[in-house]
Structure 1
Amino acid sequence: MIVRLGSLVLVVWALGFVWFTVALPGPGPDLRTDGIVVVTGGPGRIQRGVALMEAKQARRMLISGVDRRVRPRDLVAEYGVPRRLIACCIDLGDESVDTRSNADETAAWVARNRYKSVRLVTTDWHMARARFELRRVLGDGVAVVPDGVRSEPSFVVLMTEYTKYLLRRVAAPFGY
């Protein structure tokens, strides 16, 4: 009985993993939102957010999870972010250290600005968990548009992220 149950769990996990890897999101639709949230931690994320801002896809952008030592001038030097965007429209969030706290930091920013829609920019393999965390804290009152930055993740990265996603889905209803 235990072997059968274990086999069933393994098959369900494997089928879910296949779905997870096949369904990695790409760039979002050409749709204007109130704000853009870029979750730091992977290549191309900030550049994607800046490109969306330059295309006037939102009013403001939050870069969540920024190291406290990073200053706006560092964005200019590292990513070529136009100074005019930094001056008017980009907020640096330095309160978060992981995906859960990125969502909390974003929710506070969304509430402060009274936004009804945000575009979430993160790497394709990170989108499911980041979106889950964000929707969990924002609720149904704010639309979240996923915008995945394409990558070439390894099998280990995909497997690790899928497992984290499943664990969060199981733990969140219990307050963890």
Structure 2
Amino acid sequence: MARVGSRRVRLARSLGRLLAVGLVAGLAWAGGLVWFANAIPRPPAEESADATRPTDAIVVLTGGSGRLGTGLDLLTAGRARKLFVSGVYEGLDVQELLRKSRQSPSDIECCITLGYSADSTIGNAYETADWLREQGFRSMRLVTANYHMKRSLLEFRMVIPDVEVVPHPVASPNVHLEDWWKWPGTASLLVTEYNKYLLTLLRYELEMLLES
């Protein structure tokens, strides 16, 4: 009986430790989520000094509202020599893309390149890296959603560490960052993006460790 009692005590202690570790991990995750949400750029951050600084290229990651229009406006304003749109679906050409964006094809068609191979943020980074090397460009302005920017910058840093990347976040009207926890759609989006960012950060740290 004494042995059985001792085993139960050890089991209870082990479960207690596991619960404590789980509680600490959960609190750390939740605290990180709050930090992540608060660190997302809000307007007028998009109108910072970096917004007017020229770069060799503008790169737009498809997948969200306002990104392409912002990229085209930046190109028209002369913020870069060329625009690269990464992650475009097969069959879409530049003229159709400009028509969808209500832009005149004759004005800027010659300065736009579409990338069709990327289907993820990692793919965006590699597809863009190949194009930048072909063009001989050393700086780029990255246009993507504000909540997606932190992970995108990390992915691009791993693939093209020698290229200067200027962030240009775009705010979506459908993502409510103020009191985000009150909006189920926004909360779900931020939790998903935060988890993806943590996995990307883990990959980044492992790569740095292996290279050191």
- 2:147 is matched with which residue: 125, 134, 139? 125
Aligned residues: 174
Q: What does the per-residue CA deviation read over 1:22-41, in whole Å, with 9 as the maximum and x for residues that have no partner?
A: 11124262211111100000
**Match runs of 1:83-162 below 5 Å:** 83-139=105-161, 141-151=162-172, 152-153=174-175, 154-162=186-194
Moved over 3 A (4+): 171-175
The one-letter code of the counterpart of 2:38 is V
- Structure 1 unaligned residues grouped into runs of 5+: none
Contact 1:39/1:64, CA 8 A, preserved across alignment = yes
Whole-angstrom CA distance in 1 between matches of 2:98 and 2:117: 21
Matched residue of 1:53: which SS?
Answer: helix
* Percent pairwise identity: 38
Matched residue of 1:57: which SS?
Answer: coil
The one-letter code of the counterpart of 1:120 is L
Whole-angstrom CA distance in 2 between matches of 1:73 and 1:105: 21
Distance 1:86 1:168, change over 3 A: same
Contact 1:72/1:86, CA 8 A, preserved across alignment = no
The residue that corresponds to 1:61 in the other structure is 83
Q: What does the per-residue CA deviation read over 1:58-79, in whole Å, with 9 as the maximum and x for residues that have no partner?
A: 0101000001110122112210
- Structure 2 unaligned residues grouped into runs of 5+: 1-16, 176-185, 208-212
- 1:14 is matched with which residue: 30, 34, 44? 30
The residue that corresponds to 2:5 in the other structure is none
Contact 2:144/2:169, CA 8 A, preserved across alignment = yes
The one-letter code of the counterpart of 2:39 is A
The residue that corresponds to 2:200 in the other structure is 168
Contact 2:95/2:109, CA 8 A, preserved across alignment = no
1:13 to partner: Cα distance: 1.2
1:163 to partner: Cα distance: 0.5
The one-letter code of the counterpart of 1:54 is T
Rg (Cα) greater in structure:
2
Whole-angstrom CA distance in 2 between matches of 1:172 and 1:81: 39
Kindly report the root-mean-square deviation, in angstroms, between the aligned alpha carbons of the 2 structures. Answer: 1.6
**Higher helix proportion (structure 1 or 2):** 2
The TM-score, its normalising length taken from structure 1, stands at 0.92
Matching of residue 47 in structure 1 with residue 63 in structure 2: no
Matched residue of 2:60: which SS?
Answer: strand
